[in-house]
């Protein structure tokens, strides 16, 4: 095999001598031709050379960015490249060459961000700004830095049908969505983030591909006939031909991490990745990420979404683990959401007690091997011994707003004091916090599920599927049409927090709490934590510790879980009131900031070393 400049070996890639090698896996074809479109109305047809295991390749010199091309299989149909980096005219049209070796980078001193320093801001490129592009995000970076964010997490940007989509219907895993600005704009965003000291995490989908514009099955056995995900056929990780499918996915990992300088990947729904081989595909992904990290010079983070509550995913290989860096922890969210809203539909049937908030704080998972009413079986396993930085928690994320009754953001469902307390329990938690775009100032615009499929029949089926899913969740109201452009436009952030408003006060509280995560020693301790529920039979006061409280270097978070004032516990020796969610500057009722001997309704206060008031540790 010819050696390339980068680790990736599929699609058009640069060789060490500067030539371009086209390489495609097409074991179902007996003949593959590369069709070039050098200018309108002209084509060139070049026969590719067969290799072992069903690969075909061709090397050409002096190829520039933007050259259109496609593959012809068996002298018949033309298809886009399965490893296309750019689809300028959408999922069905020819691919285009992208010279990633000519990206302009200024991040040579960037060394990445350590796992424990992550404060993640999840955003959807199309709705985060009015323009809905990568370039428009750059203008918002100073705002995010002022807020205290250390990493942005982009919802999937792999090319999907049309111009509007969450991204989980992507069909070209290597191609950057054209309506967001394409490959060069994404590289520009990553470079700008690094200049500002912000990491970039990319959401990737390795469990399935979307239905429209998905031509992989014409090339080879990319999909399994033994497994099926809720969203379509599963990728073939353990059947005949699976070695090359695994290489296809690992090449995708290398592309994002090495050629785009992405700091980490968020792996979507790994519980829907089916692989029965002794070496799981997640091990291959970990190895590919480590190889890219070694070449570029800073760590590559792998964070996974999983509903299994299984800490083996973040344990070491010698502990029979997969060595991922962190897991999303839905239990923490569900415990808070069910308690504060009273919702018990669907999976919330397993949650809703104050004791579960305490358990989630101290032991990570609520369902840690106990019986789940929703699943009608035991769920999960203990997370004992695994430090908190290996889990990501959130008050909201894209799923938990849109895949929900009414699509309401939580700020529209709770009273301001209650919402502020819920925020504190996430931002002060002994885990990695994730914010969903706009929540920091109380954005009340919805975040609907939206699509722009070109196939009308498919669009109808998707709308019917959404209705059935929300009915299953208990929703009987009107359903926003995923295909309507108005549905998409309604989701764009308002970016509005007038001075003196509750929104401005809420944003200030977010900013302060995130600064405490960086400066308070106890809030950088992910191992030492304790939860005490006072009068558990009638929960009124929740006390949550971080750090060495007994040794005088920890903090105590005290939450009034009622709508009535409660006695404010006395400070310990050398302890002071460091924070209150009811301070007037946050929109609360506590005046002056340090006075009072009661906890106001739904108030959250923090006690810690009095010396921190002067030194801001």
The answer to whether residues 254 and 292 touch, using CB atoms and an 8 Å cutoff, is: yes
Looking up tokens 């500002």, which residue turns up?
A: 196
**Contacts with 105 (C-beta within 8 Å, 6 or more apart), sequence order:** 187, 191, 261
* Whether residue 132 is found in the same domain as residue 46: no
Q: Is the pLDDT assigned to residue 593 strictly greater than 80?
A: no
The CA distance from 340 to 542, in Å, is: 14
At 11-22, the pLDDT tens digits run 999 999 989 999
Torsion, CA 111, CA 203, CA 148, CA 585, rounded to 10: -170
* Whether residue 457 is found in the same domain as residue 559: no
Question: Which of 102, 127, 155 corresponds to the end of one domain?
Answer: 102
Q: What is the DSSP letter of 281?
A: H
- What 3-state DSSP class applies to 200? strand
Q: At what angle do helices 416-427 and 502-519 cross, to 10 degrees?
A: 20
Domain-located, residue 5: no
**Contacts with 189 (C-beta within 8 Å, 6 or more apart), sequence order:** 134, 135, 137, 138, 200
Question: Which of 472, 494, 512 corresponds to the end of one domain?
Answer: 472
Name the band, by pLDDT with cuts 50, 70 and 90, for residue 439.
very high
Q: Is the pLDDT assigned to residue 513 strictly greater than 80?
A: yes
Name the band, by pLDDT with cuts 50, 70 and 90, for residue 471.
confident
Annotated catalytic residue 325: no
Average pLDDT over residues 314-332: 96
At 358-412, the pLDDT tens digits run 999 999 999 999 999 999 999 999 999 999 999 999 999 999 887 766 668 999 9
The CA distance from 541 to 557, in Å, is: 10
Average pLDDT over residues 179-187: 98
At 112-125, the pLDDT tens digits run 999 999 999 999 99
Q: Is the pLDDT assigned to residue 1 strictly greater than 60?
A: no
- CATH number of the domain encompassing residue 96: 2.60.40.10
Q: Is the pLDDT assigned to residue 270 strictly greater than 60?
A: yes
| Residue of 268, 284, 330, 331 with catalytic role | 268
Which is nearest to 285 in space by CA: 260, 250, 315? 250
At 443-458, the pLDDT tens digits run 999 999 999 999 999 9
At 522-573, the pLDDT tens digits run 999 999 999 999 988 889 999 999 999 999 999 999 999 999 999 998 889 9
* Whether residue 203 is found in the same domain as residue 299: yes
The answer to whether residues 396 and 437 touch, using CB atoms and an 8 Å cutoff, is: no
| 40 against 179, higher pLDDT | 179
Domain-located, residue 424: yes
Quote the strand ranges of 336-403, DSSP E: 370-372, 377-379, 391-394
Name the band, by pLDDT with cuts 50, 70 and 90, for residue 462.
confident
* Whether residue 44 is found in the same domain as residue 88: yes
The CA distance from 434 to 496, in Å, is: 21
Q: Is the pLDDT assigned to residue 615 strictly greater than 80?
A: no
Which strand ranges, in their side-by-side order, compose the sheet holding 49-50? 13-14, 20-25, 55-60, 49-50
**How many other C-beta atoms lie within 10 A of the C-beta of residue 62?**
7
Domain-located, residue 307: yes
* Whether residue 85 is found in the same domain as residue 121: no
Annotated catalytic residue 17: no
The CA distance from 295 to 293, in Å, is: 5
* Whether residue 187 is found in the same domain as residue 308: yes
* Whether residue 264 is found in the same domain as residue 401: yes
* Whether residue 74 is found in the same domain as residue 146: no
Q: Is the pLDDT assigned to residue 605 strictly greater than 90?
A: yes
* Whether residue 556 is found in the same domain as residue 591: yes
**Contacts with 116 (C-beta within 8 Å, 6 or more apart), sequence order:** 389, 432, 524, 526
- CATH number of the domain encompassing residue 600: 2.60.40.1180
Domain-located, residue 453: yes
The per-residue pLDDT for 461 is 86
* Whether residue 137 is found in the same domain as residue 85: no
Name the band, by pLDDT with cuts 50, 70 and 90, for residue 5.
confident
Over its C-alpha atoms, the chain yields an Rg (Å, rounded) of 25
The CA distance from 36 to 88, in Å, is: 15
Domain-located, residue 20: yes
Exposed/middle/buried for residue 484 (C-beta within 10 Å: 0-12, 13-18, 19+):
middle
| 137 against 571, higher pLDDT | 137
The per-residue pLDDT for 591 is 84
* Whether residue 423 is found in the same domain as residue 514: no
Average pLDDT over residues 298-313: 98
Cα distances (angstroms) measured from residue 246 to each of 222, 312, 411: 9, 21, 42
**Domains identified in the chain, total number:** 3
Domain-located, residue 206: yes
**Contacts with 576 (C-beta within 8 Å, 6 or more apart), sequence order:** 607, 608, 609, 610, 612, 613
Name the phi and psi angles at 498, rounded to 5: -55, 145
The answer to whether residues 301 and 200 touch, using CB atoms and an 8 Å cutoff, is: no
Q: Is the pLDDT assigned to residue 271 strictly greater than 70?
A: yes
The CA distance from 402 to 534, in Å, is: 35
Domain-located, residue 2: no
Enumerate the H helices of 342-384 as residue ranges. 354-363
The per-residue pLDDT for 406 is 62
* Whether residue 119 is found in the same domain as residue 238: yes
Question: Which of 472, 493, 525 corresponds to the end of one domain?
Answer: 472
- What 3-state DSSP class applies to 178? helix
Average pLDDT over residues 201-210: 97
- Of 34-43, 291-300, 542-551, the poorest mean pLDDT is in 34-43
| Residue of 122, 275, 305, 330 with catalytic role | 305
Range of the domain at 62: 13-102
The per-residue pLDDT for 469 is 76
Q: Is the pLDDT assigned to residue 186 strictly greater than 70?
A: yes
Domain-located, residue 137: yes
Distance of CA 514 to the CA centre of its chain: 19
What's the predicted TM-score (pTM) here?
Answer: 0.97
- CATH number of the domain encompassing residue 207: 3.20.20.80
């Amino acid at each position: 095999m010819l050696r390339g400049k980068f680790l990736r070996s599929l699609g058009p890639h640069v060789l060490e001598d500067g030539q371009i090698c086209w390489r495609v896996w097409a074991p179902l074809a007996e003949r593959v031709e590369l069709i070039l479109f050098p200018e309108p109305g002209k084509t060139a047809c070049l026969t590719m050379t067969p290799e072992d295991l069903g690969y075909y390749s061709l090397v050409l010199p002096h190829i520039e960015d933007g050259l259109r091309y496609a593959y012809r299989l068996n002298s018949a149909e033309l298809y886009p490249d399965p490893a296309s980096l750019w689809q300028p005219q959408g999922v069905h049209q020819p691919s285009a060459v992208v010279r990633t070796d000519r990206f302009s980078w200024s991040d040579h001193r960037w060394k990445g961000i350590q796992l424990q320093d992550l404060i993640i801001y999840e955003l959807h490129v199309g709705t985060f700004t009015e323009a809905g592009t990568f370039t428009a995000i750059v203008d918002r970076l100073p705002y995010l830095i002022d807020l205290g964010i250390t990493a942005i997490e982009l919802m999937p940007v792999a090319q999907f049908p049309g111009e509007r989509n969450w991204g989980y219907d992507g069909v070209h895993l290597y191609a950057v969505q054209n309506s967001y600005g394409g490959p060069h704009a994404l590289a520009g965003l990553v470079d700008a983030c690094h200049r500002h000291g912000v990491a970039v995490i990319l959401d990737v989908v390795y469990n399935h591909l979307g239905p429209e514009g998905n031509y992989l099955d014409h090339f080879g056995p990319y999909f399994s006939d033994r497994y099926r995900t809720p969203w379509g056929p599963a990728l073939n990780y353990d059947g005949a031909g699976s070695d090359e499918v695994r290489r296809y996915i690992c090449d995708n990992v290398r592309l994002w991490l090495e050629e785009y300088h992405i700091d980490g990947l968020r792996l979507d729904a790994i519980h829907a990745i089916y692989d029965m081989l002794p070496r799981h595909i997640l091990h291959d992904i970990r190895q590919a990420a480590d190889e890219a990290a070694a070449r570029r010079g800073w760590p590559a983070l792998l964070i996974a979404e999983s509903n299994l509550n299984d800490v083996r995913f973040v344990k070491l290989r010698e502990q029979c683990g997969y060595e991922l860096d962190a897991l999303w922890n839905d239990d923490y969210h569900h415990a808070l959401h069910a308690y504060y809203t009273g919702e018990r539909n669907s999976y919330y049937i397993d949650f809703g007690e104050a004791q579960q908030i305490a358990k989630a704080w101290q032991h990570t998972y609520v369902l840690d091997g106990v019986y789940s009413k929703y699943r009608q079986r035991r769920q999960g396993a203990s997370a004992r011994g695994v430090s908190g930085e290996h889990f990501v928690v959130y008050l909201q994320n894209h799923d938990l707003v849109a895949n929900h009754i009414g699509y309401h953001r939580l700020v529209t469902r709770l009273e301001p004091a209650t919402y502020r307390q819920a925020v504190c329990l996430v931002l002060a938690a002994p885990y990695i916090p994730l914010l969903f775009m706009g929540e920091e100032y109380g954005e009340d615009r919805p975040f609907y599920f939206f699509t722009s499929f070109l196939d009308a029949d498919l669009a109808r089926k998707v709308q019917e599927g959404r209705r059935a899913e929300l009915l299953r969740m208990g929703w009987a109201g009107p359903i926003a049409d995923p295909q309507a452009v108005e549905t998409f436009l309604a989701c764009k952030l308002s970016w509005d927090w007038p001075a003196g408003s509750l929104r401005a006060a809420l944003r200030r509280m977010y900013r302060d709490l995130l600064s405490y995560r960086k400066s308070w020693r106890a809030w950088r301790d992910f191992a030492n934590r304790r939860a005490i529920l006072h009068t558990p039979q009638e929960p009124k006061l929740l006390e949550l510790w971080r750090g060495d409280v007994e040794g005088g270097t920890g903090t105590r978070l005290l939450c009034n879980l009622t709508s009535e004032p409660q006695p404010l516990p006395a400070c310990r020796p050398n302890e002071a009131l460091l924070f209150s969610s009811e301070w007037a500057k946050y929109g609360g009722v506590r005046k002056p900031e340090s006075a009072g001997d009661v906890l106001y309704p739904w108030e959250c206060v923090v006690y810690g070393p009095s010396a921190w008031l002067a030194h801001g540790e």
